[in-house]
Amino acid sequence: MEITRDTVAVITGGASGMGRSTALALARSGASVAIADLNEARIAETVAELEALGVGALGVRCDVSRPEDIANLRDRTVERFGRVDILMNNAGILPLGSISAMPLAEFERAMRVNFLAVVCGVQTFLPDLAARGQAHIVNTASMAGTFAYEPDSVAYNASKAAVISLTENLALGLAPQGIGVTCLVPGGVATNIMEQVKVSGEIGDLASYVGAHFVMRTADEVGEMVVAAIRDNTFFLPTNPELVALLARRAADPDGFVHEMQDWFAAHQPA
């Protein structure tokens, strides 16, 4: 879709990391942006940065696990700008712990914030997006949702796998309404998500496999990728394109791939 001075975007988790960088990239393209976040100081800082780029900006404190907060975000955005053209469901948390140490409540929290908030965001904003005739949704998943490379983030991995499945369904179901859909699949990206970590039990080194096999991206790089994907109506957006070849190898020999991963972890266990 075309991004113009009339375009209005909404981004959850928009005051830091990939959300903030995407907000700024969209603003540089002329769009007005409403950001939602929990950190009020960062909201104010990001809104000031957006306004300095000469676009309309709105900051709303929003806990995405609360449907009423998402409804308020929608109402505030429409009241301010009169429309919504782009929705980026980006807010997330990172609970850590093995399957034996992770309480069920942490699985529920991960699914509520990382997955069900995406569902709620789409349901809440869909009437506004559909009214435009041309709109776009971006859902932030994770490389961790495509294959298991970190056993101590099992709840996070499962929630992000659910986002990928949901987003593929949306790409099929919403195309007749003129709504494009992008599944953002970050690998290693320098963000502040570690602030959202809650650890259950003992954990080992994190993301050692990804660190050894994939290049770390900056949040600003990802923001520019997202804007390009919106323009081009790209569905699958890995921040590391080499992920595609890895997933093809996994699909060709799932058992062999799992055994390969098991061998890698066994060889890289701390002494």
Annotated catalytic residues are 156
Residue 135 vs residues 219, 238, 258: alpha-carbon distances, Å:
23, 21, 39
Up-side HSE of residue 190: CA atoms within 13 Å toward CB? 6
Q: How many CB atoms lie within 10 A of CB 141?
A: 28
Cβ partners under 8 Å of residue 149, min gap 6: 143, 207, 209, 210, 261
CA distance 130 to 250: 37
- Indicate the SS3 state at residue 94: strand
CA distance 59 to 123: 21
CA distance 64 to 58: 17
Instruction: Say if CB 113 and CB 13 are below 8 A apart.
Output: no
| DSSP 8-state secondary structure symbol assigned to residue 114 | I
Cβ partners under 8 Å of residue 72, min gap 6: 60, 62
